[in-house]
Amino acid sequence: MHGQQTGCSSSSICFRSLEIIMDIGGEPESRKRKRTSHACDACRLRKVRCDGRQPCSTCASAGEECGYGVEAMPKNKSDVILDVALRSESMLQKLSLQLQSIIGSKIPVDIQGVTSPLAFISPATNESNHQLDSPADHISNAILSQFHSSTTESILTWPHLQDFHALRQNYSGSVFHLESLRPPLKHRTAGIVPYASKSEVECILQSFERNINFWYPTLSRATAIMVQQQILSNNLDEDISSCLSILVMALGCASELVHSATVDTIEKSTYSEQRDRWQLISALYFDYAFKRIHLAQAECTTEAVQCLFFTALFFAFLQRPIQAWSFISATASKCRLLLSYHTSEVSTDSIECLRRIFWSCYILESDYLAELSALPQTGIAEIESSIPLPGEYHTHASSVDEENSSLYFLACISMRRLLNRVHELLYARKGGVASDINQFPSVVVELDNQLENWKVLLPLPFQFSMNKEIIPSAEGGFLRQRYLTCKSVIYRPYLTWALSLTARGDSIPPIVSDGCTTCLDACCLHAENLSGFPQTVMVDTWICSLSMASVMLIVLAISREDSLRRCLPFGVVEIGPNISKHLTQWIQIPMQGLSPSVMRSIKLIEDVNSSLRTILDS
């Protein structure tokens, strides 16, 4: 399965081809693909491209009826990708309609009159500067509003944690300020391109394809071959093409560094040698490329957008969230511009590349906004419903890996869209219903239904069970973590409702207790299943540290209440050490300075776990 990888050794570099068997239909790959079978009747008649929506963009703009007849041809494996995309799109469209009907008659909630921890979250000073669009717009486009109330910093302000004075005092500072005061990344005065043999270059590029280009499939095989030829010929110049090639090499080396640091079977001495080697080479490549990134910032081409995007990913690997967000923002803005003004001269591959980078930025920008709610937004979320989902694009040497990568990418996109809707409908500063006990239960039911539908739609290689069982596919494990995050955020209003009831001395109805248990089970299983998934370590360590801190704070708040303590799963005190162990290992992998906010999260988790043990032991 994908995720069981073999690293490049320092002496002889070899690589096993990855084989993923998908039990989804078996027409021969030689059969010519018939995309027209997914076009609507009107587009098929006109012989124009159809995006497969209901209605499609062409019919919607023309005001015509959009209908789909019987399949013209049998479907092969590649067609399954589009099927999943269309089913996911249909699911989200139904969600939009159902939720609009639920909140359509919504009366604004008097926040000051609500007895809930959410009533005390987010400073009122931001209110005058924050104006939301209509709820319908935010549901149609899966937007994550600024100043939402589901960040880790917001949870720390819950009134039910007010007795933990040391926690509030020691961890009340802004994550943004911690990271913004961080010393800048050190660069060498002279850029040096490391020497790499042909086998080493092949290994590095295979690592890039197996990891980065599997999670964010944006680099075409044609470009990857060009990169290999340019590196082997040492034909590097002061141009964007060279900058792109070096960034691909830097990310490939970083992927190998993550692999060598997270595989348990490597001996300590061998691990140390490999780690030092890959760290040095990745740093040298990135240093060389970063000195030329101004070329990408000055141009407006697909290659320039790719350079900015890969720079953002490398800063995410370095656990520098401010710099990563800065380049994600620059990438998204330029990508949006090129998609808005592309001409017929632009190749189909270039357009598809830009669309895939658009969706990658959508995922990453939303991830960062989930924890830094005041970050300025690029506006890509406001137009996401008008951008076609990923289509045909040659990204991998193996057609099976290519199909699985596209399916995985679609799964990540649809999950991020659902997460944004959850945050928007429940926790938006103006309009979120999480604190309204008369409205949120129906919203929670619908959101949970859509989450379960998402899980059912997952292709076989990425399916997972709801327990602590190890999943063969690292991507399946990563998606399970996303699922559990979404589940816990959906049911969190029940937890805050239960805390409010205990504060007043009221009894807890069964429906509230059940919802509270569902939230806590998802939170704790999320923490228990924390593992060194390459994507988590490579891109999400900073975000993961804050998410895990949220889990610990929620558990601590519940542990104080005798009537709610029974909702906690058995062995909850073992969660903190597991989280701390993984984060402490991951923070040291880049070897480019430790992230102060990740370090603070680790310390917070350890302090919370100490308080938790004291409470439960008593």
Lowest mean pLDDT among 96-100, 465-469, 529-533: 96-100
pLDDT at 26 exceeding the cut of 60: no
Question: What is the average pLDDT value for the chain, to the nearest integer?
Answer: 83
Task: Give the start-to-end residue ranges of the domains of the chain.
Answer: 39-72, 198-386
Lowest mean pLDDT among 123-132, 180-189, 259-268, 408-417: 123-132
Give the mean model confidence (pLDDT) for residues 184-209: 89
pLDDT in tens, 609-618: 999 999 998 7
Q: Tell me the three-class secondary structure of 227-239, residue by residue.
A: HHHHHHCCCCCCC
What pLDDT shows up at residue 469?
Answer: 87
Burial of 592 by CB count in 10 Å (0-12 exposed, 13-18 middle, 19+ buried)?
Answer: middle
The CATH code for residues 39-72 is: 4.10.240.10
Residues ≥6 apart with Cβ < 8 Å to 191: 287, 288, 291
d(CA 122, CA 382): 23
d(CA 460, CA 404): 10
pLDDT in tens, 362-382: 999 999 999 998 899 999 999
d(CA 605, CA 549): 6
Q: Which residue has the tokens 């542990």?
A: 559
Q: How confident is the model at residue 470 (pLDDT cuts 50, 70, 90)?
A: confident
At the second CATH level, the architecture of 198-386 is Up-down Bundle (1.20)
What pLDDT shows up at residue 531?
Answer: 93
Contact at 8 Å (CB) between 314 and 248?
no
Percent of the chain at pLDDT > 90 equals 61
What pLDDT shows up at residue 267?
Answer: 59
Contact at 8 Å (CB) between 338 and 326?
no
* Counts for the chain of helices (H) and strands (E), in that order: 24, 0
Contact at 8 Å (CB) between 578 and 565?
no
